[in-house]
């Protein structure tokens, strides 16, 4: 039976350290770290995520502001708002809540954010620095949180087989890079992978981030695997992950629950990046 990796508890510890650091910056330099979130449209999941970010900022002494923009806005108008925020010295972090309405280009809009305020870590300059392993860069929040959860188990990653299921720019790719930096041997799988189970059964560490309910079955993992479930899939009133949790936990040595695993860590890493930006 697996040990449950308590993302809520780990995230709470990180938030308390951030709270202390935010207070120190305020006392020493007179700076209150500030995050501005740009929310376009009325998408319900995005509304919930943004409210959670606002609450988390308030808890640790980070100022937050949400720019709520109608879904009909033109791309050039959002770009102008971002350029104004780039120039505002009282704003340290800028986050554009995605997904955006289909008529807007995520790439074009994210590329307009000042790399020094890009607390989501999605600007090409920050992604490039991550790829090169440069210290002090902004790491995409979910990927950074995943690594904290993995390292909390005490595993020595060097030489281990790590399998990442999912290749998004937000989770899959940056997580694979971070695992490589810890000298794991990394396999990335995705929707076109032939015989997914053949790859996942080799994993000492398995990160499931594909957005498909319970796609990882018990027979697809080996005994003692560490499982990080990034999936957030709604089935009726229930929230489930990408892993068949009840059965896979019988074989895993460590596993994250859904909810209460990766989710709280994503917000904790956003706060950490905002503090880094303020510094």
Report the catalytic residues: 53, 97, 120
Q: Which helix (H) or strand (E) holds 254?
A: strand 254-255
Burial label, 157 (beta-carbon count in 10 A; 0-12, 13-18, 19+):
buried
- Residue pair 247/278 in contact by the 8 Å Cβ criterion: no
Q: Smallest Cα–Cα separation from 52: which of 229, 232, 222?
A: 232
Q: How many angstroms separate the CA atoms of 93 and 36, rounded?
A: 6
- Residue pair 242/229 in contact by the 8 Å Cβ criterion: yes
Token pair 């979130």 is at which residue? 37
Region of 214 please: left (phi>0), alpha (psi -120 to 50) or beta: left
Q: What is the residue-wise DSSP string for 143-174?
A: HHHHHHHHHTTT---TT-EEEEE---TTTHHH
Q: What is the residue-wise DSSP string for 113-132?
A: S-GGGBTT--SHHHHHHHHH
What distances in angstroms separate CA 158 from CA 132, 151, 254, 256, one per listed residue?
18, 12, 18, 21
Q: How many angstroms separate the CA atoms of 279 and 275, rounded?
A: 6
Q: Which 3 state secondary structure label does DSSP give 10? A: helix
């Amino acid at each position: 039976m697996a040990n449950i990796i308590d993302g809520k508890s780990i995230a709470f510890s990180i938030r308390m350290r951030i709270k202390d650091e935010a207070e120190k910056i305020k006392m020493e330099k007179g700076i209150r770290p500030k995050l501005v979130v740009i929310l376009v449209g009325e998408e319900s999941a995005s509304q919930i995520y943004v409210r959670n970010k606002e609450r988390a900022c308030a808890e640790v002494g980070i100022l937050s502001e949400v720019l709520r923009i109608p879904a009909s806005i033109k791309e050039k108008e959002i770009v102008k708002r971002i350029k104004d925020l780039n120039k505002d010295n009282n704003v340290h972090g800028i986050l554009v809540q995605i997904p955006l309405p289909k008529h807007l280009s995520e790439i074009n809009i994210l590329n307009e954010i000042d790399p020094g305020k890009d607390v989501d870590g999605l600007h090409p300059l920050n992604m490039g620095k991550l790829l090169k392993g440069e210290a002090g860069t902004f790491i995409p929040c979910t990927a950074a949180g995943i690594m904290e959860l993995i390292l909390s188990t005490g595993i020595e990653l060097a030489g281990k087989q790590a399998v990442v299921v999912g290749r998004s720019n937000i989770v899959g790719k940056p997580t694979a890079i971070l695992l490589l930096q810890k000298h794991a041997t990394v396999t990335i799988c995705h929707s076109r992978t032939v015989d997914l189970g053949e790859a996942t059964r080799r994993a000492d560490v398995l990160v499931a981030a594909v957005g498909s309910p319970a796609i990882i079955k018990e027979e697809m993992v080996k005994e003692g695997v560490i499982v990080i479930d990034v999936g957030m899939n709604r089935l009726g009133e229930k929230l489930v992950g990408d892993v068949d949790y009840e059965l896979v936990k019988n074989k895993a040595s460590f596993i994250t629950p859904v909810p209460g695993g990766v989710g709280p860590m994503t917000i904790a890493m956003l706060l950490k990046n905002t503090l880094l930006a303020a510094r």
